[in-house]
A = this chain, B = another copy of it.
Amino acid sequence: MDQTAKTAKQASIRLAAMGTDIKNRALAQIAAALKAAAGDIIAANKADLAAAENNHLAGPLLKRLKFDENKLADACAGIESLIKLDDPVGKTLGRTELDTGLELHKVTCPIGVIGIVFESRPDALVQISTLCLKSGNAALLKGGSEAEHTNKALAKVICEAGENTGLPAGWLALLETRDDVAEMLKADQYIDLIIPRGSNQFVRYIMDNTNIPVLGHADGICHVYIDREADLDMAEQIVVDSKCQYTAVCNAAETLLVDEKITGQFLPRIKTALEAESVEIRACQKTLAIIDAKPATEADWSTEYLDLIISVKVVADLDEAIEHINKYGSGHTDTIVTANKQSAETFMNFVDSANVFWNASTRFSDGFRYGLGAEVGISTNKIHARGPVGLDGLVIYKYKLLGTGQIVADYAQGKRKFTHRKMDNSS
């Protein structure tokens, strides 16, 4: 493992300086190689699926584990669109003339080595490794043991196709054992960022067991707040979509907050609408005074159900809604439904979440819907990248200073003065 990480670090230095052309050629080659190896990959996946069935893996997990012709076609289509996206590396973010003949350039560059740990979905392996390649990062991958054969087949094809196109050896490596993960989480001298993909408990385990920065999110406790000035038809649609359109995902709503002024009109109709979708309601005392439902406990306000359950709370006003969200939310995605622009702006400014919405479903919080192209995941971090993270979240910058022999002593002694003139970013 130590040698693998060291090799990845060396590869990352060379990858960082690779042009867009060679990276795009490698991506095209990877898509072609994946198609050519379809038989092997699908056979490997069938072996994993058979083992999983023998081990009585639950239905939804089996579904995630499956990697068939359709999944492969989707993965290759993803690579094709990745080729079309701008290269995020080598962009000039700013140029300053410090003095005559002394120019400072702030230029984007890759982060370095990214460690990716994911649970059963093999699609994630293709998606994240190709995003790393396009952004010039080396990648160390560790998938779930239940997808062992599929992951091995995919990684082998991707790794070799990349190396055959001229990428440095070791630019991508698949870790095989659980011990490798424990070692990876300690390898902070080689690995610059960890991206975990999987369940809350899994992500939290990763976060609690490494000093390497982690990009991602554990919980997704998203709120819909219905303001007193909401259009109630719109409110009903947004609540149902946020809760029911896909319940098992991080941007689905878990708690509905309703302004006290409209409980009489809104609560009965939303109960009908949610129950039509088989949603169980867990309600606060004030809600229970209006509609019949299961009483909520304190724990409900901080529970991510990922299921057909919603907690409902009546709040006195916008301020109480904001306070509740900042206290119990997970900083992921929260939406207000209101016709009042001022209230919407207050909500969006004071709710401390990566994604704050006005009159739209929480389910829009997604890299594809945002138009970012592919995403490595959704981050609730307050550092580096937040919300849906695409290619831009996989780069940092370096400062390049281009001089003609300048020394600091001349400026310290007042012989020369800084001009600090902003220049345009074209070089």
Chain B interface: which of A72-80, A158-166, A177-185, A352-360? A352-360
Contact A405 B326 (CB under 8 A): no
What distance in Å separates the Cβ of A163 from its nearest Cβ neighbour in chain B? 20
Chain B interface: which of A39-47, A304-312, A396-404? A396-404
Contact A401 B353 (CB under 8 A): no
A378-427 residues at the B interface, CB under 8 angstroms: 381-384, 386-388, 396-409, 411-412, 418, 420
A340: CB under 8 A from chain B? no
Chain B residues lying within 8 Å of A335, measured Cβ to Cβ, are: 401
Q: With A241-B408, A409-B245 given, is the CB distance from A111 to B383 under 8 Å?
A: yes
A129: CB under 8 A from chain B? no
Contact B383 A213 (CB under 8 A): yes
Contact A396 B369 (CB under 8 A): no
Contact of A397 among B207, B352, B386, B412 (CB under 8 A): B386
**How would residues 277 to 312 of chain A score, 1 for a CB under 8 Å from any chain B CB and 0 otherwise?**
000000000000000000000000000000000000
What distance in Å separates the Cβ of A82 from its nearest Cβ neighbour in chain B? 16
Chain B interface: which of A50-58, A145-153, A230-238? A230-238
Q: Oligomeric state, in number of copies?
A: 2
Contact A358 B407 (CB under 8 A): no
A169: CB under 8 A from chain B? no
Complex Cα spacing A192 to B240, Å? 33
Complex Cα spacing A231 to B365, Å? 55
Chain B residues lying within 8 Å of A411, measured Cβ to Cβ, are: 369
Contact of A370 among B13, B96, B403 (CB under 8 A): B96
What distance in Å separates the Cβ of A23 from its nearest Cβ neighbour in chain B? 14
A60: CB under 8 A from chain B? no
Interface residue total, chain A, C-beta cutoff 8 A? 75
Contact A370 B98 (CB under 8 A): yes
A100: CB under 8 A from chain B? no
Complex Cα spacing A215 to B237, Å? 43
Contact B406 A98 (CB under 8 A): no
Complex Cα spacing A360 to B402, Å? 7
Chain B residues lying within 8 Å of A208, measured Cβ to Cβ, are: 211
Contact of A231 among B104, B405, B408, B409 (CB under 8 A): B405
A170: CB under 8 A from chain B? no
A363: CB under 8 A from chain B? yes
Contact B245 A403 (CB under 8 A): no
Contact A13 B350 (CB under 8 A): yes
A112: CB under 8 A from chain B? yes
- Chain B residue at minimal CB-CB distance from A397: B386
Contact A234 B405 (CB under 8 A): yes
What distance in Å separates the Cβ of A336 from its nearest Cβ neighbour in chain B? 10
- Chain B residue at minimal CB-CB distance from A348: B400
If A213-B383, A356-B398 are given as contacts, then 10 extra A-B residue pairs at C-beta distance below 8 Å, sorted by A number, are A12-B352, A13-B326, A16-B352, A192-B383, A241-B407, A356-B400, A363-B407, A371-B420, A383-B396, A387-B397
- Enumerate 12 A-B pairs (CB-CB under 8 Å) in ascending A order: A17-B346, A102-B360, A111-B383, A192-B383, A207-B211, A215-B383, A238-B407, A245-B407, A246-B408, A353-B398, A359-B406, A361-B407
Which are the 4 A-B pairs with shortest beta-carbon distances? A360-B403, A371-B420, A241-B407, A363-B408
